[in-house]
Amino acid sequence: MNNFFKEYFDLINEKVKSLESKDLVLCANTIIETSNTAGKVIIFGNGGSAAIASHASIDFTKAAGIRAINFNESSLITCFSNDYGYERWVEKALAFYADKNDLAIFISSSGESKNMINGSKEARKMGLPVITLSGFSKENSLRRSGDINLWVNSDSYNVIETVHQIWVLSIVDYIISKKNCI
């Protein structure tokens, strides 16, 4: 038991470092380009991934100066779910709120959440760039639908969500550092 936390933190560190820096830079540059063309970043997730979406949208907006929003308003989710079905609420939110220069980010540990997959398909139909964050199977449905895909090789929700949080917030900090160098 004494080794649990050391091994756990070593595993998290291994998973965080498993992604090449160029992929994070590509995400950051895509987000900056979205901002430079007067677009906004729209971030979606369920459960813990929704919490990551909330945290990231606030940090992108306040700390990095990038307009970002998430859709974690329970009234909106339950209204759209009631009217269109839970599997379609994300695509409907995009249809109502996304503009042509926006970017959509979808976070799903399994990569198999139907509402995220349908939302990604809608974003692609709208011509929006799509970034996905997922885990579990490398061939998950969400990962196959994105332009840029950040994937964690794990089947543990907490490991995947922790790594997603670190990756997304590192992108925020990278953007801040780039702005401070200009």
Q: Dump pLDDT digits (tens) for 106-146.
A: 999 999 999 999 999 999 999 999 999 999 999 999 999 99
Can you spell out the DSSP letters for 27-51? HHHHHHHHHHTT--EEEEESTHHHH
Evaluate if residue 176 carries a pLDDT over 90.
Answer: yes
pTM: 0.96
Residues 115, 23: Cα–Cα separation, whole Å: 25
CA neighbor of 173 nearest in space, from 22, 26, 23, 60: 60
pLDDT of residue 178: 87
Evaluate if residue 182 carries a pLDDT over 80.
Answer: no
Q: What would the pLDDT profile of 72-84 be if each residue is shown by its tens digit?
A: 999 999 999 999 9
Evaluate if residue 17 carries a pLDDT over 80.
Answer: yes
What the chain holds in terms of domains, given with CATH numbers, is 4-181 (3.40.50.10490)
The answer to whether the CB of 47 falls within 8 A of the CB of 114 is no
pLDDT of residue 181: 75
pLDDT of residue 96: 96
- Which DSSP category does 19 fall into? S
SS3 for 117-156 is: HHHHHHHHHCCCCEEEEECCCCCCHHHHHCCEEEECCCCC
Structure tokens at 129: 């760039």
Using only C-alpha atoms, the chain has a radius of gyration, in whole angstroms, of 16
1: pLDDT confidence band, cut at 50, 70 and 90? low
User: Cα dist. 24→19, 29, 137, 154, 173 in Å?
Assistant: 8, 9, 20, 19, 11
pLDDT of residue 180: 78
